[in-house]
Chain A
């Protein structure tokens, strides 16, 4: 089976700042893949490369067998047009640390927006599925609320529903619970756990080691733009082999 995500020697620089220094990894279909590491190590940058919000500087990156952002003909690489990049992104859902809901739309309108605008679905069809998704994330009662009228946990669940509305084959989570008050973290993790049980392929950047241990299928520790250590979450978390991993885990556990 083709891996859902495959990275080969991925580098990324911003000007002179060399942020990703050769990332190699594979995420299998249906896998819950946890990415941990200190702040500034390049986790968000790597996630953003996967859906081409950032262009990689060197290396190769595939999602479900397709090169991200490029087409290869012979040994030449052609950049994809804006439309083609947008089409690739449809299949990749992304959930942000700061939710990034559209504040001028209600919860249900947030969820309907992309199916209607991008897929050209009718409003009726999109609305019906949006209501089902909001119900699924436990917000069936708050479909007509504006984001400013929802708690952080509720906003993040709407954001997950919004990403799911495009029926993605891969979901990227960038510290989805880091901006939440501690008592609201659980409700978001519950939704993610449910999604994992459903077989969704997920890459999760998180500091919630409990979640990683319970739900994760594999875990990668990243530091300073390189993968330091990877393996099964329970193994890495209980028996870290590298000093840097040990130092990091002693701070977050």
Chain B
């Protein structure tokens, strides 16, 4: 039997002493001992930078003043930000985004596995699906689902039978339109993730007696996640915005709620701004969430994690106070 004590120590997880923003605000002490004499030179003057900054600031100031003097009822905007119709719309936007993404992720993964299948029927069907759904505008797809009753007046599934008009509510049409379209995009994302996993992994699993399906579920997909998660976060944020198209088929999301109110009080611009602010709020919240999710899935692949913005701020604060230690 081999020696019980290890000759080679396992590489330990190193904790990098990142001193915060590399761009360096404040005096950041590097660990070099007694620094050599500093270089004394007249720095290059960046006149171009100054000029362009001034131009941009002037344009910005003009824009702000234009909006301030425009005929916008800012108090109306404030009043309607937490109007119950608007809140209900925001909740519907969130809800349809979540459900459509869920449909997209599940169906997309199935499509990706089909696309990579050795069975030519499977891979062609998946290819065709992706071709159709990526090649047509979402708005058109939404309208097609919503108007399905025009060509199929009655839905007959054998065990279930109903008027198509009663079945194809704005909610269901929005879910199908957004979710099925998303599946085509998620299929490509999952496929890239699955293909990123080393073939040796599949081989090792097969050699242990695992079937193809089990290998996919236990070995390949968990490893593909690291590649799949970041673009999926982007898709989620895109979906928050794209869901506004469901306005066209009378689904009561944020934009429809805003236009409903403005058709009564005629404050069109004010309510569009209310919707804008809500979209910005939602996408910002989820962008932060995405940042932390991606950071979480980097674990195991890199030995030290990049510091979060908040950690950077803290580090900079400390380094301002005591330049000698710029630790996290």
Contact = CB atoms under 8 A, between A and B. Distances in A.
Nearest to A147: B300
Interface stretch (A63-71, A82-90, A199-207): A82-90
A166 B208 contact: yes
Contacts of A137: 2
Given A138-B1, A149-B13, A184-B8, A104 B222 contact: yes
Contacts, number: 103
Contacts of A86: 206, 209-211
B209 A138 contact: no
A181 B323 CA distance: 43
B294 to A, nearest CB: 17
Main secondary structure of the interface of B (DSSP, over half): loop
Contacts of A136: 1
A42 to B, nearest CB: 17
Interface residues of B, number: 31
Interface stretch (B67-75, B163-171, B196-204, B242-250): B196-204
B209 A187 contact: no
A151 B214 CA distance: 28
Contacts of B211: 82-83, 86
Contacts of A94: 204, 207
Interface in B255-302: 300
Nearest to B223: A104
B7 A187 contact: yes
B4 interface: yes
B2 A187 contact: yes
Contacts of B4: 138, 140
B200 A117 contact: no
B201 A183 contact: no
Interface string A48-90: 0001010000000000000000000000000000110011011
Given A117-B214, A194-B1, A100 B203 contact: yes
Given A104-B300, A187-B3, A82 B212 contact: yes
B84 interface: no
Q: Which 3 A-B pairs have the closest CB atoms?
A: A90-B209, A190-B2, A100-B204
